[in-house]
Structure 1
Amino acid sequence: MTSTRETPVRLTQFAHGGGCACKIPPGELEDVLGALTAPRPAAGDVPLLVGLATGDDAAVARLPSPAGAPAQAVVSTADFFTPVVDDPYDWGRIAAANALSDVYAMGGRPVLAVNLLAWPRDVLPFDLAREVLRGGLDIATEAGCHVGGGHSVDDPEPKYGMAVTGLADPTRLLRNDAGRPGMPLSLTKPLGLGVLNNRHKATGERFEQAIATMVTLNRDAAAAALAAGATCATDVTGFGFLGHLYKLTRASDVTAVIDTAAVPYLEGAREAVRDGYVSGGTRRNLEWVTPHTDFGGTDTDTRLLLADAQTSGGLLVAGEVPGAPVVGELMPRGPRAVLLR
């Protein structure tokens, strides 16, 4: 894989936000989605297994199976965002890995993707868009996922991502509502991607450890979780570790106790928080989870890192995953959804 990091164009300067930190704030999004109810499917329609109700990572529907054939489900998701790094090839790789992650987070395997591209064609050279698409194609190829075209628009702000279709065993899904008391919590990637990306946008510093983490597929982590018998997971992206953990505890009607000393962070993440490279999305995440969290004696910087808006983060699995640190445990539901210790 060849990067184009020498390009003089700083893509992050053409975006008001960066990566998953530019998501609609979770509270505002839930206010809108809460008013929507899907119509009840007619008899004989494909049954919807996972939809809007629990705010999971992707939609899942059971496919008709011939008698004697293994059951199968289709997993559907879409994800796109503004540039999180300046290098167009790296941005394409990161955005593709992030979109594919939603399928892995449900226990599925991606089989087909289409590109979603918005480009200010009168402002940015279109050959940079080619590099973005090349990065996305390389990651999809690594995942064994076809890329079959897509859709593009002329837009004042560059955006890129994918709509992805996957397949899964409907009896072995990873869902955010399947957590039960006594299950350990494992985290498969370190935190701190948001603050390092924000520092990159502000200063132009390149953080290889962040890029390597973001372009790593969650394929192996999902396979390991399924092999270990896990049934509950979510990926950690724009709503931060605390935001996605809160959604999991709410959907599963449990409380999570987190050992903050066990949570892994990327090199340089604490220094980035110390120096003020915290996005508005991260602060909104922290505000959203505060009424539902007992922070104990955790300091402000740790709270911000736990709420840091991740892009292409890891999986948070209710179960032990080989090679991933156990960062907490689920317990019966108490007055607060999350306890930090």
Structure 2
Amino acid sequence: MAALTKRLTHYATGGGCACKIPPGELEDVLAGLGVAAPANAPGEIVVGLENGDDAAVVRVAGDNAVVSTVDFFTPVVDDPFDWGRIAAANALSDVYAMGGRPVVAVNLLCWPRDVLPYDVAVEVLRGGAQMAAQAGCHVAGGHSVDDPQPKYGLAVTGLADPDRLLRSDAGEPGMPLSLTKPLGLGVLNNRHKATGEVFPEAIATMTRLNDEASAAALAAGIRCATDVTGFGLLGHVYKLARASGVTAVIDAAAVPFLEGAREAVRDGYVPGGTRRNLAWVTPVTDFGTTDEETRLLLADAQTSGGLLLAGEIPGAPVIGELRPPGPHAVVVR
């Protein structure tokens, strides 16, 4: 592979899911966008724009539904193969977060062709293909454009039982909240971009598929879930609580964090996306006496994070519970 003039993460202004459009701004864009389904469209929309779920779901026949999603982002690590693996795992996660199984994906590649050599792109695509193969998902073609900043991801199509979906509006008071991966990916990735330090635990976390967690949730009869990505734990739990008409209570002491995450916050490696997440959820959250460091970590913009489940599965810590609606959508204690 050709030597680069600078590290891969320095070819882009953002990094991973922290480069998403801020959640409040995105909701303003989508407000009032509802489009009536064409009369001649096959199937029935089961999950659409209403609650910002992780993927769209269309019932096509009986107990068969198609799950459709897309996700791509700028480099989150300097190793192109790892970036491809992480981006693919992140895109596949949206299907798992709905209780589906990925079947086929197509590549999305934006490449500064006059700046980055194509053999780097080959490594990115190879990483994505390996992760899709691990998921048992075909990769068949895709689309590429010349772009000033490198971006990569997948558009994924999966299958699911429309009567056994995981969705954000199915939460009820009394349900426990579980989290399947530790937090801190955003601040550690930001430190990696700034210093070049490599965090193997973070890479292993981002490249771990959510397939087993999704299957365990379905087996346990869980029907309410989302994955934790660019809007942080607090952003995603707020969306779940709002869609379900409940209050979510988070026990900050029970939330797992990656080694080095707190130190990264203390040393100032907080992504702009994390700060925007915290600003977005603060008006709807009762933080009590929670310190600023913990607030930032709970709002940290994750890339290929875990599943947030309204229920319990083996190996996933319980980090809170859903309660009847109160004055705040989210309470952190």
Q: TM over 0.5, yes or no?
A: yes
Name the SS for the 1:225 alignment partner.
helix
- Aligned counterparts of 1:43 and 1:119: Cα–Cα separation in 2: 37
- Give the aligned partner of residue 235 of structure 2: 243
Name the SS for the 1:95 alignment partner.
helix
Amino acid at match of 2:279: E
Name the SS for the 1:128 alignment partner.
helix
- Give the aligned partner of residue 7 of structure 2: 10
Structure 1 residue 290 and structure 2 residue 282: aligned?
yes
- Aligned counterparts of 2:69 and 2:252: Cα–Cα separation in 1: 31
Q: Given the alignment, which residue of 305, 319, 323 partners 2:311?
A: 319
Deviation at 1:9? 4.8
- Count of paired positions: 332
TM-score of the superposition, structure 1-length normalised?
A: 0.96
Matches within 5 A, 1:114-193: 114-193=106-185
Contact 2:92/2:102 (<8 A) preserved: yes
- Unmatched tracts of structure 2, length 5 or more: none
- Aligned counterparts of 2:301 and 2:32: Cα–Cα separation in 1: 26
Amino acid at match of 1:298: T
Deviation at 1:10? 1.2
Instruction: Encode CA deviations 1:15-69: one digit per residue, 9 max, x unaligned.
Output: 101000000000000001012011144277310000000110000000124xxxx
Q: Given the alignment, which residue of 73, 85, 99 partners 1:107?
A: 99
- Aligned counterparts of 1:244 and 1:259: Cα–Cα separation in 2: 15
Residue range with higher mean Cα deviation, 268-277 or 41-50: 41-50
- Give the aligned partner of residue 61 of structure 2: 64
- Give the aligned partner of residue 68 of structure 1: none
- Give the aligned partner of residue 295 of structure 2: 303
- Give the aligned partner of residue 95 of structure 1: 87
Matches within 5 A, 1:191-340: 191-340=183-332
Structure 1 residue 31 and structure 2 residue 25: aligned?
no
Instruction: Encode CA deviations 1:165-208: one digit per residue, 9 max, x unaligned.
Output: 00001110000000000000000000000000000000000000
Deviation at 1:8? 7.2
- Aligned counterparts of 2:30 and 2:127: Cα–Cα separation in 1: 32
Structure 1 residue 78 and structure 2 residue 70: aligned?
yes
Instruction: Encode CA deviations 1:77-108: one digit per residue, 9 max, x unaligned.
Output: 00000000000000000000000000000000
Amino acid at match of 1:13: H
Runs (4 or more) in structure 1 with deviation over 2 Å come to 6-9
Amino acid at match of 2:27: E
- Aligned counterparts of 2:113 and 2:308: Cα–Cα separation in 1: 38
Identity across the alignment (%): 77
- Aligned counterparts of 1:53 and 1:290: Cα–Cα separation in 2: 22
Name the SS for the 1:135 alignment partner.
helix
Amino acid at match of 1:169: D
Deviation at 1:329? 0.3
Contact 1:257/1:328 (<8 A) preserved: yes
Contact 1:9/1:86 (<8 A) preserved: no
Instruction: Encode CA deviations 1:218-275: one digit per residue, 9 max, x unaligned.
Output: 0000011111110000000000000000000000000011111000000000000000
Contact 1:41/1:47 (<8 A) preserved: no
TM-score of the superposition, structure 2-length normalised?
A: 0.98
RMSD: 1.2
- Aligned counterparts of 2:140 and 2:270: Cα–Cα separation in 1: 37
Contact 1:7/1:87 (<8 A) preserved: no
Contact 2:74/2:151 (<8 A) preserved: yes
- Unmatched tracts of structure 1, length 5 or more: 66-70
